[in-house]
Structure 1
Amino acid sequence: MSKQHLIIDNGAYNIKAGFNQGTDSSPHKIFNAITRTKDGLIHFGNQFKSHTNNFSGIQIKRPFEQGHLTSWETEKPIWDYTFDEISSPTKEVDPSEIHLTLTETPYQLPQLSSNTDQIVFEEYGFSEYYRCTAPSLVPFSVDPAEVSPDFTLVIDAGFNSTWIMPMLYQKVHWEGVRKLPIGGSLINGLLKEVISFRHYDISADPILINTIKESTCFLATDFNEALKKKAQLGCQFVLPDFKTTTTGYVVGPDTPPLPADTQLLTLYDERFTVPESFYHPEIIFDSNGSTASNSTLQAAPFKNLTDLVVSSIMSCPEVTRPLLSANIVLVGGTTNILNFKNRLLSELRRELPSNWRVQVHEKQNGISQDERSWYGGVSLTNQDIIREITVSKKEYFEHGSNWCQNQFGFKNL
């Protein structure tokens, strides 16, 4: 019997997990948190979605802090729930028969990586294991007719931060890796501050804030022009009443007449000023009372997404730079913000040499941005190289806990 390959893209917001089943492969998405609802019940992963119809006042505990997996006490029960979800009705997941491909954040602290290795081999007893960053799997899932897998610039905008990672011949060029500490979590926090200050206090409703962001926010093609016509860009969001809607929704042209007591949230410039922090990070400080008046912070030259992408490309070997600019791939759930691709494209074309081809790719082969790394892991496990880069349980116990870090740690080969 051939070994099963399990791929876990262990994101800070969602875990994408599933087996390599050839053309039928698809990931299960698991909410990577332990939640406690107002009735005092504890839920793991997706359990809260089916056990309650009132997400107000929900408390969320995540195993990640600032992008790093710091709490296996929180993560392990979520993994146990995940394995139950991906088990077939006739057979449970048996780690001793499984090869695990697992993602982690770039530049994960070695001690935290060692904790993960210990859990994988000593707690679960996986047979074989490969650990890598999520963006490094992307070149294995791109369509070679559109994107060169040998020269790929991956922009991974996730929940905690945005990573820019150049991949040369399917290996990470670590000198070019850049980080922008802005992701879905920070956008949610800014949106919560603005809405709570201008409209209603929704600070106890993190699920609602995320829903509002996903359904109303967008990046303006021209920020100053959008500000001038913000009245025309307004939209109305129906807040949940837990009778007709438990999540809320945007009022559209086909929405039936609303009852007189419907609570509406009317959003104007909040829709695009909050995501604009990708290009004007000083917005973060303007929205905070303690930092808005700090002249040192206001005058500081913060790097935005465009600056970091250009810096990343320019730190790579000269001959590869135009190739990377032509093969930029967006991954991560935060890149689903409306107009993310077009805005980035127009900003980069202004900054990069005019004779370079600049192309930004998002969905390909029907794969959404937040699943691309997972599908890259599936593709990698189909290749012979997986045998060379894998660490077995036998090797781990023979060589000790540092062996995995020697094999998987960040280095330019």
Structure 2
Amino acid sequence: LYSQVEFADTSIIITEPYFNFSSIQESMTEILFEEYQFQSALRTNAGSLSAHHFFHTKPSELCCLVVDSGFSFTHIAPYCRSKKLKEGIRRINVGGKLLTNHLKEIISYRQLHVMDETYVINQVKEDVCYVSQHFYRDMDIAQLKGEDNTLLRDYVLPDFSTIKKGFCKPREEMVFSGKYKTSEQILRLANERFAVPEMLFHPSDIGIQEMGIPEAIVDSVQSLPEGFRERLEAELRSLVPAHLPVSVLLPANPVCYSWEGGKLLAHTPDYDEMVVTREDYEENGHLVCEDKFDI
């Protein structure tokens, strides 16, 4: 595919974090136009593309709040009529990387040294971890012995010879007394399954002095103008009296939701007015991007 793309005839949409360093923005623009020679470029945020997708599918909605939890951090970003309200954006320095690293530490302390196995443990996290709906109840279950512990999972680690990818043993094949009579290397996971994702909601539990997602949402909404705040307060269960309705949307494929938004954006009639062309850049330099892109 790479060899089939004529960059000089191609427009690119590229995402970057909110409030990205200007030096990085400038370097990115330089690479796009001077090294790859793209015909035009649009720099934006993944959250903005998600908001565009949302408003496209729900045109009657005026406001939304995007919770974008990624690899390095989580952003809370409010939008009104597809425009982000910068004063309401909140960043939490907790993302998938931190969760994986914390799981590595727990497993290394309790069972097996895996501090050098980031890729493998990241797969373990994705396969067995979940967000608890009743944290203290799950903690009680996780302390039970044998088959009474319904949360217990045995994870077979890959050896990259006969086992290419790790997997959970089926419940009926788990050994609850004694040891397995196989050469498989197995991790036994119980409260780790839900205690690790809990960091997204209560990072202070492990000494990280950051707001969790619910607190960040409250803080974001409270910083917004009255009209926006009232609208969002009517849609978030965690922020309002119980009798008010709640609307929380989880896309069918969250990973591609921003990409789908970018695809929709690229086909809007006024797309050409949003981009900076190579001609604009060659004539005016990086300043034209600062004026055009609201990052």
**TM score, norm. by length of structure 1:** 0.64
Verify the 8 A CA contact 2:69 2:95 in the aligned structure 1: yes
2:241 matched residue in structure 1: 353
Per-residue CA distance 1:32-83 (angstroms, 9 max, x = gap): xxxxxxxxxxxxxxxxxxxxxxxxxxxxxxxxxxxxxxxxxxxxxxxxxxxx
Distance 1:403 1:145, change over 3 A: closer
Report how far residue 204 of structure 1 moved. 1.5
Q: Which amino acid aligns with 1:263?
A: Q
Report how far residue 284 of structure 1 moved. 2.8
Report how far residue 391 of structure 1 moved. 0.6
**TM score, norm. by length of structure 2:** 0.89
1:211 matched residue in structure 2: 123
Percent pairwise identity? 30
2:286 matched residue in structure 1: 401
Verify the 8 A CA contact 1:326 1:358 in the aligned structure 2: yes
Greater RCO structure (CA 8 Å; 6+ sep)? 2
Verify the 8 A CA contact 1:325 1:357 in the aligned structure 2: no
Q: Which runs of 5 or more structure 2 residues have no equivalent in the other structure?
A: none
Verify the 8 A CA contact 1:98 1:127 in the aligned structure 2: yes
Q: After TM superposition, list the pairs within 5 Å mapping 1:4-403 onto structure 2.
A: 86-87=1-2, 92-142=4-54, 150-230=62-142, 231=144, 232=149, 233-253=151-171, 260-285=182-207, 302-324=210-232, 349-364=237-252, 368-403=253-288
Verify the 8 A CA contact 1:106 1:133 in the aligned structure 2: yes
Q: Which amino acid aligns with 2:204?
A: E
Verify the 8 A CA contact 1:129 1:390 in the aligned structure 2: yes
Report how far residue 228 of structure 1 moved. 1.2
- What SS class does the counterpart of residue 142 from structure 1 fall into? helix
Q: Which amino acid aligns with 1:351?
A: L
- What SS class does the counterpart of residue 187 from structure 2 fall into? strand
Verify the 8 A CA contact 1:137 1:374 in the aligned structure 2: yes
Verify the 8 A CA contact 1:237 1:264 in the aligned structure 2: yes
- What SS class does the counterpart of residue 243 from structure 1 fall into? coil
Q: Which runs of 5 or more structure 1 residues have no equivalent in the other structure?
A: 1-85, 286-296, 328-347
Verify the 8 A CA contact 1:310 1:352 in the aligned structure 2: no
The structure that is strand-richer by fraction is 1
- What SS class does the counterpart of residue 203 from structure 1 fall into? coil
The structure that is helix-richer by fraction is 2
Report how far residue 408 of structure 1 moved. 0.8
* Distance (Å, rounded) in 2 between the aligned partners of 1:306 and 1:204: 33
Bigger drift between 257-266 and 111-120 goes to: 257-266
Higher radius of gyration, 1 or 2: 2
Q: What value does the CA root-mean-square deviation take over the aligned residues?
A: 2.3
Verify the 8 A CA contact 2:12 2:42 in the aligned structure 1: yes
Verify the 8 A CA contact 1:180 1:304 in the aligned structure 2: yes
- What SS class does the counterpart of residue 76 from structure 2 fall into? strand
Count of aligned residue pairs for this structure pair: 285
